[in-house]
């Protein structure tokens, strides 16, 4: 029997038992089972799964969000594709409380949890005894690394608690027992029960916006929300948020979810969202996920953005008030092609997600805001790349390769800046070598050829040779594709897109260093990108009077633009500029975005007596508000040890 037919029959059998609506059976038959790569270069060192024996094809979650206990409680029912001679399935888990595993008939199956191995968690091995569907009853731990349970005080509204998840890279196993490997794509659905007054959203189609009234334990008023993702996705892309959330439309298929207090500002900030989707489609073909909505999270969200399908998760720090940081939106939208449609098979090829996305982000920005803006963004990114290579140990460090061998390195603790900007520059270099028209046609075809599939560096290389360089292999040779992908450093043929407006900014920065005349800085006429360039162009060592003059003229310590505030503090702290301390304190206790939090604590610690004690005290105060992604990184920096 073929897998889809088997799945359909199982669905019909289950429907007979559970009296489902015909809609369920119909969508079940629409689900596709995505292929997986099983070549040696696609072995995933960060998952215990052995998909060649038994692999998960569909996940069905039935969970209640228990805000008091800070646990997700319920079950995950997994559809499996089992090889003829296989007897067991291995799943990824982390800190899960497994209560029972049974087959479709409700009979108990034998299972065992292996030893826990740090960030990898523990393998859950289930004896199948012929089963091709298993149900795992479980609860997540209050310490689940993917989840953050916020008290009402940690939200904008201050009245209701909030829950959100962050799955990438290997965190989802802390609330979903499945094969947590990006190469093992799974369709999924979910029924989530939450207390009355809490709106649940997920990275999938929400069938009932208002939920359905159900009784909780002790007759408590609850609501059940139903979700469905009919496309096979990498399991790190299953995401949830629940809290006091409201929705506002932006365009016909775009909109924003946020706490009521943030909704209007968010909708204003993201007015160009629909145009961005249209621009991306023009370049790379149809947007394949139906709606594209964004969700503004409470300030604890540890990333700038996370490309959860149909529902990008965003930090509130992207709301600058003037739309000046929306390249972040373009970035997460770009992942709808690079990352969500074509997905790195393992975390050794993160650059296939992030590098492609950083390139596409810039192309979307160029399409919507013009080449002058795009050039500035590209040049900021180029500077980030230089810094990233240094931070990774210099140009001969293996950490500066696009394809990396992470093996026993935790992919969530990996400074992957190089994957973003070196990846971007590689694609930009290819674009310039073959011409934009040919390159765009290739990239669009690439997304069609590998849609809903995992991807590896090796397969990309083959594809480039077969599709982009078929009639000019000598050109591929000259560019040095393999060197770009598998060797460290930045090849000398790297294409550097420069911005004439930045050249002007650089001259003004030099004049300020010389004369200290802050009134001569045309700050108000500048875009945020020029302001960021200005701050980056200043020498890292500046005397206090120069810093004070800047701060007085430009109010940098109070800047409400997160990127500007961060760039300023990263200049002021190493110069031990005292007024930076209250500014850093206010900033670091107001949001938990790792990209800002981690370097600032590092900079403070590096200042010994001036900054280290201050940093430790501040961290103890701020840490309870941070997500595990941020604390895992910063704990090490500040030498934090939990007391008691
Ligand atoms: N997918 C990433 C976030 C991520 C990467 C999470 C690796 C876990 C592991 C997301 O698309 C991203 O890159 N976010 C950036 C924004 C961006 C504009 C560079 C961020 O959070 O700063
Ligand atoms: Zn990204």
**How far, in Å, CA of 640 to CA of 626, rounded?**
14
Using the 3D structure, point to which of 201, 216, 244 is the last residue of a domain.
244
**Residue 568 pLDDT:** 98
Residues spanned by the domain of 446: 337-498
CA of 335 to the centre of ligand 2 (A): 7
Residue 403, SS3 per DSSP: coil
Based on the number of CB atoms within 10 Å of its own CB, is 466 exposed (0-12), middle (13-18) or buried (19 or more)? exposed
**Quick one: which atom of ligand 1 is closest to the CA of 358?**
19
Name the residue with the closest Cα to ligand 1, atom 16: 304
Instruction: Kindly report, residue by residue over 166-205, the tens digit of the pLDDT.
Output: 999 999 999 999 999 999 999 999 999 999 999 999 999 9
Q: Is the pLDDT of residue 153 over 60?
A: yes
Q: Do strands 133-139 and 212-215 pair parallel, antiparallel, or not at all (unpaired)? A: unpaired
Name the residue with the closest Cα to ligand 1, atom 8: 168
The verdict on residue 348 lying in a domain is yes
**Quick one: which atom of ligand 1 is closest to the CA of 411?**
9
Catalytic hit among 228, 332, 354, 424: 332
**Quick one: which atom of ligand 1 is closest to the CA of 339?**
1
Between 29 and 331, the higher pLDDT residue: 331
CA of 459 to the centre of ligand 2 (A): 21
> If you average pLDDT over residues 531-536, what whole number do you get?
98
Bridge partners (DSSP) listed for residue 619: none
Using the 3D structure, point to which of 244, 272, 305 is the last residue of a domain.
244
> If you average pLDDT over residues 256-266, what whole number do you get?
98
Q: Do strands 54-66 and 122-127 pair parallel, antiparallel, or not at all (unpaired)? A: unpaired
**Residue 224 pLDDT:** 98
Using the 3D structure, point to which of 468, 498, 528 is the last residue of a domain.
498
CATH number of the CATH domain containing 424: 1.10.390.10
Report, in this order, helix, strand and coil percent for the chain, each rounded to 5.
Answer: 45, 20, 35
Name the residue with the closest Cα to ligand 1, atom 11: 306
- Give the relative orientation of helices 594-605 and 562-572 as an angle to the nearest 10 degrees: 10
Name the residue with the closest Cα to ligand 1, atom 3: 306
* Ligand 1 pocket: which of 146, 238, 303, 404 to mutate (most atoms within 8 A of CB): 303
Q: Which of 34-48, 450-464, 492-506 has the lowest mean pLDDT?
A: 34-48
Catalytic hit among 303, 359, 369, 420: 420
The verdict on 219 and 367 lying in the same domain is no
Ligand 1 pocket list (CB less than 6 A): 168-169, 303-307, 328, 331-332, 335, 354, 412, 595
CA of 469 to the centre of ligand 2 (A): 27
**Residue 415 pLDDT:** 66
**In total, how many domains does the chain have?**
2
**Residue 29 pLDDT:** 54
361 alpha carbon, closest ligand: 1
CA of 562 to the centre of ligand 1 (A): 16
The distance from CA 436 to its chain's CA centroid, rounded to whole angstroms, is: 28
**Residue 487 pLDDT:** 98
> If you average pLDDT over residues 358-374, what whole number do you get?
98
The verdict on 204 and 352 lying in the same domain is no
Percent above pLDDT 90 for the chain: 91
Mean pLDDT of the chain: 94
> If you average pLDDT over residues 597-621, what whole number do you get?
98
**Residue 254 pLDDT:** 98
Instruction: Kindly report, residue by residue over 492-513, the tens digit of the pLDDT.
Output: 999 999 999 999 999 999 999 9
Bridge partners (DSSP) listed for residue 257: 247, 295
**How far, in Å, CA of 283 to CA of 412, rounded?**
31
CA of 570 to the centre of ligand 1 (A): 20
Q: Is the pLDDT of residue 10 over 60?
A: no
The verdict on 352 and 478 lying in the same domain is yes
**Residue 22 pLDDT:** 37
Contact 416, 456 (CB under 8 A): no
Name the residue with the closest Cα to ligand 1, atom 6: 168
Contact 640, 623 (CB under 8 A): yes
CA of 332 to the centre of ligand 2 (A): 6
The verdict on residue 40 lying in a domain is no
**Residue 32 pLDDT:** 77
420 carries an active-site annotation: yes
The verdict on 228 and 377 lying in the same domain is no
The verdict on residue 554 lying in a domain is no
Residue 103, SS3 per DSSP: strand
The verdict on 350 and 220 lying in the same domain is no
**3-state SS string for 41-82:** HHCCCCCCCCCCCEEEEEEEEEEEEECCCCEEEEEEEEEEEE
CATH number of the CATH domain containing 15: 2.60.40.1730
pTM: 0.95
**Quick one: which atom of ligand 1 is closest to the CA of 331?**
18
> If you average pLDDT over residues 307-317, what whole number do you get?
98
- Please report the sign of the dihedral spanned by the C-alpha atoms of residue 456, residue 458, residue 461, residue 465: negative
* Ligand 1 pocket: which of 164, 169, 305, 599 to mutate (most atoms within 8 A of CB): 305
The two tokens of residue 445 are 């075809």
Q: Which of 24-33, 122-131, 158-167, 505-514 has the lowest mean pLDDT?
A: 24-33
The verdict on residue 375 lying in a domain is yes
**Residue 642 pLDDT:** 80
Q: Which of 29-43, 208-222, 384-398 has the lowest mean pLDDT?
A: 29-43
């Amino acid at each position: 029997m073929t897998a889809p037919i088997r799945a359909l029959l199982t669905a019909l059998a289950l429907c007979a038992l559970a009296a489902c609506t015909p809609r369920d059976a119909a969508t079940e038959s629409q689900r596709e089972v995505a292929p997986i790569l099983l070549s040696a270069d696609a072995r995933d060192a960060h998952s215990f799964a052995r998909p060649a024996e038994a692999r998960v094809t569909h996940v069905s979650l039935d969970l209640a969000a228990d805000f008091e206990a800070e646990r997700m409680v319920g079950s995950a029912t997994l559809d499996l594709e089992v090889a003829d001679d296989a007897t067991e399935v291995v799943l990824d888990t982390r800190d899960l409380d497994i209560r029972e595993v049974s087959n479709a008939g409700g009979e108990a199956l034998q299972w065992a949890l292996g030893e826990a191995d740090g960030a990898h968690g523990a393998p859950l091995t289930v004896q199948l005894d012929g089963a091709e569907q298993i149900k795992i009853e479980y609860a997540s731990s209050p310490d689940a690394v993917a989840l953050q349970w916020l008290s009402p005080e940690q939200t904008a509204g201050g009245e209701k608690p909030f829950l959100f998840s962050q799955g990438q890279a290997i965190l989802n196993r802390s609330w979903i027992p499945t094969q947590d490997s990006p190469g093992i794509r799974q369709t999924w659905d979910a029924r989530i029960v939450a207390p009355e007054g809490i709106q649940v959203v997920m990275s999938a189609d929400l069938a009932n916006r208002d939920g359905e009234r159900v009784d909780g334990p002790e007759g408590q008023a609850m609501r059940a929300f139903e979700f469905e993702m009919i496309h096979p996705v990498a399991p790190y892309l299953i995401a949830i948020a629940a809290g006091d959330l409201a929705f506002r439309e932006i365009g016909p298929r775009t909109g924003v979810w946020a706490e009521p207090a943030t909704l209007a500002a968010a909708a204003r900030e993201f007015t160009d969202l629909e145009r961005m989707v249209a621009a991306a489609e023009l370049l790379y073909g149809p947007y394949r996920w139906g709606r594209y909505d964004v969700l503004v999270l409470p300030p604890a969200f540890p990333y700038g953005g996370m490309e959860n399908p149909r529902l990008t998760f965003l930090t509130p720090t992207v709301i600058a008030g003037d739309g000046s940081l929306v390249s972040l939106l373009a970035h997460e939208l770009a992942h709808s092609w690079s990352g969500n449609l074509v997905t790195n098979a393992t975390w050794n090829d993160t650059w296939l997600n992030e590098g492609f996305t950083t390139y596409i982000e810039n192309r979307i920005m160029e399409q919507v805001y013009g080449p002058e803006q795009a050039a500035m963004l590209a040049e900021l990114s180029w500077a980030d790349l230089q810094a990233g290579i240094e931070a990774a140990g210099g140009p001969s460090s293996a950490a500066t390769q696009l394809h990396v061998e992470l093996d026993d390195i935790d992919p969530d603790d990996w400074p992957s800046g190089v994957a973003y900007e070196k990846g971007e520059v590689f694609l930009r270099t290819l674009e310039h070598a073959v011409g934009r028209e040919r390159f765009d046609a290739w990239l669009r075809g690439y997304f069609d050829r590998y849609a809903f599939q995992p991807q590896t560096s090796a397969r990309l290389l083959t594809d480039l040779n077969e599709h982009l360089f078929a009639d000019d292999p000598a050109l591929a040779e000259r560019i040095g594709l393999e060197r770009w992908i598998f060797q460290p450093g930045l090849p000398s043929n790297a294409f550097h897109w420069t911005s004439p407006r930045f050249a002007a900014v650089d001259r003004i920065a030099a004049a300020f260093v010389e004369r200290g005349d802050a009134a001569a800085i045309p700050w108000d006429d500048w875009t945020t990108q020029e302001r960021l360039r200005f701050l980056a162009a200043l020498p890292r060592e500046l005397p206090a009077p120069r810093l004070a003059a800047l701060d007085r003229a430009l109010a940098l310590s109070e800047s409400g633009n997160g990127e500007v505030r961060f760039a300023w503090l990263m200049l002021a702290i190493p110069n031990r500029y005292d007024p930076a301390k209250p500014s850093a304190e206010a900033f670091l206790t107001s949001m938990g975005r790792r990209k800002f939090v981690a370097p600032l604590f590092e900079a403070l610690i590096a200042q010994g007596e001036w900054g280290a004690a201050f940093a430790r005290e501040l961290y103890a105060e701020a840490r309870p508000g941070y997500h595990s992604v941020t604390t895992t990184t910063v704990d090490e920096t500040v030498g934090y040890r939990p007391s008691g």
